[in-house]
Amino acid sequence: MSALRLAVIGAGHLGRIHAKLAKSSEQYEVVGVADPSPAALQLVTDQLGLPTFTEYTQLLGKVDAAIVAAPTMLHYEVASTLLRSGIHVLVEKPLATNPEQAGRLVQIARHHNRVLQTGHVERFNPVWTAAIPHLRQPKYIEGMRAGPYSGRSTDIGVVMDLMIHDLDLVLSLVRSEITHISASGIAVVGHHEDLAEARLEFANGCIASLRVSRLATQATRKMQVFAAETYANIDFSASEVQIVKVSEQVLNRDISLDKLNAAERMAAKDSIYGGMLSMQTISAPSRNAILDEQNDFALSIRSGVSPAVSGEDGFQAVDAAARVLEAIADHRWDGIHSKPWRIGALAEVEPQILSIKAAQQAAAKNKRLAG
């Protein structure tokens, strides 16, 4: 089996991780890493000893596949050029800056019969893959993803940066149409939202509540999934997942604690776990999710089988994120703010809006005085 000739586009933090793992993999021969920054390329040379290029177009015709880890605003330009040149592409999340661009990338990949994979790496997280078999028919999902300010991905807000991870996971699990989204967001240190929350309602009745922050004091990556017969507590940073299952008696409604007297309820509380509910802790295998993602990319190229996270999946996640951003823009703070509310931004509200509000308040006051 000959190695796939690979280019890594983007020599930032994630690009160097991809390059390092691909270099050590028998699946790939890393032909080069491209980035316009001399400082970033110097790190690649010093740390990895790989060939570097200032323009990714210098690698066209020299590679079979590419991993795009450039800033999000460049994803469409770079990925579309690579696909049109006959190169299979793995694009780090988000697939593109908006649904229109993401949809076009899917169409280009189909037209040129190339693999387009989206880098939603949490799909390969061992705790997630361990939990999946136990999560049939999810009814309610709650996710929290937060971390300290990293200095990266400042060209997008926290919805496209962090929430899109959980949006992809939820969409892969629920497999139903989103019927309604409500959301709010707050920008703190820039013009993009740094904190956000969203509630998604699906046609099958499932509800997902997601919260994200990139200004937290510590990292949190957790999700709770309440399914038809089980409940899962998933910590994406841990090595195990907790699964709670209900007994046949509970499923058949043979037990009703609210009908017991006080003494019976006190006795029942000691038998909830072990009798009515059973808790199972599942150990997740120790694996490198990014390496698994790269291996899946190579397998898709060689076999023609769709990747675990396809371009279509990437489009769906971007589309959902765009709808969340629309809902954030529609949320009105103090009756006048939107898109999203920004700390210290009251003075930046358009003067005519303030004057209209002042005129309305004056008219109301005159009306009260006249009455």
How would DSSP label each residue in 301-329?
Answer: HHH-PPPSSBHHHHHHHHHHHHHHHHHHH
Task: Quote the pLDDT of residue 292.
Answer: 98
pLDDT bin (cut points 50, 70, 90) of residue 259 is: confident
CB contact at 8 A, 131 and 241: yes
**Mean pLDDT score, 119-139:** 95
Compute the average pLDDT of residues 46-66. Answer: 98
pTM, entire model:
0.85
* Tokens found for residue 117: 């994979």
Strands (E), 122-206: 138-146, 178-187, 195-202
Residue 103's pLDDT is what?
Answer: 97
Q: pLDDT (tens digit, 9 = 90+) per residue, 70-93?
A: 999 999 999 999 999 999 999 999
Identify the pLDDT of residue 354.
34
Q: How many CB atoms lie within 10 A of CB 257?
A: 12
pLDDT value at residue 97: 95
* Residue 125, number of CB atoms within 10 A of its CB: 20
Pair 91, 251: CB distance under 8 Å: no
Looking at residues 62-74, what average pLDDT do you find? Answer: 97
pLDDT score of 278 more than 50: yes
Task: Identify the residue with better confidence: 10 or 268.
Answer: 10
**Homologous superfamily of the 4-121+288-322 domain (CATH):** NAD(P)-binding Rossmann-like Domain (3.40.50.720)
The pLDDT of residue 192 is above 90: no
Task: Please give the single-letter amino acid code of residue 5.
Answer: R
* Nearest Cα to Cα of residue 96 among 86, 83, 106: 106
According to the per-residue pLDDT averaged within each range, which of 134-138, 205-209, 214-218, 227-231 is highest?
Answer: 205-209
Tell me phi and psi for residue 191, to 5 degrees: -90, -15
> In percent, how much of the chain has pLDDT > 90?
71
Cβ proximity of 52 and 35 under 8 Å: yes
With 80 as the cut, is the pLDDT of residue 275 above it? no
Segment 302-360, tens digit of pLDDT: 999 999 999 999 999 999 999 999 999 888 776 655 555 555 443 333 333 333 334 44
Instruction: Give per-residue pLDDT as tens, 37-55.
Output: 999 999 999 999 999 999 9
Domain limits, the chain: 4-121+288-322
Going by pLDDT thresholds of 50, 70 and 90, the confidence category of residue 60 is very high
Q: Which residues pair with 200 in a beta bridge?
A: 181, 208
Residues above pLDDT 70, as percent of the chain: 85
| 295 pLDDT higher than 70 | yes
Sequence-distant (≥ 6) Cβ neighbours of residue 302 within 8 angstroms: 1, 4
pLDDT band at 69 (very low <50, low <70, confident <90, very high): very high
In this predicted structure, what is the pLDDT of residue 339? 54
Q: d(Cα 288, Cα 290) in Å, to the nearest integer?
A: 6
- Residue 265 is predicted with a pLDDT of 73
Residue 369, pLDDT above cutoff 60: no
d(CA 282, CA 307): 26
- Mean pLDDT over the full length of the chain: 88
Q: What is the DSSP code string of 71-126? A: -GGGHHHHHHHHHHTT-EEEEESSSSSSHHHHHHHHHHHHHTT--EEEE-GGGG-H
Q: How far apart are CA 77 and CA 101, in angstroms?
A: 9
Q: So what's the pLDDT on residue 271?
A: 67
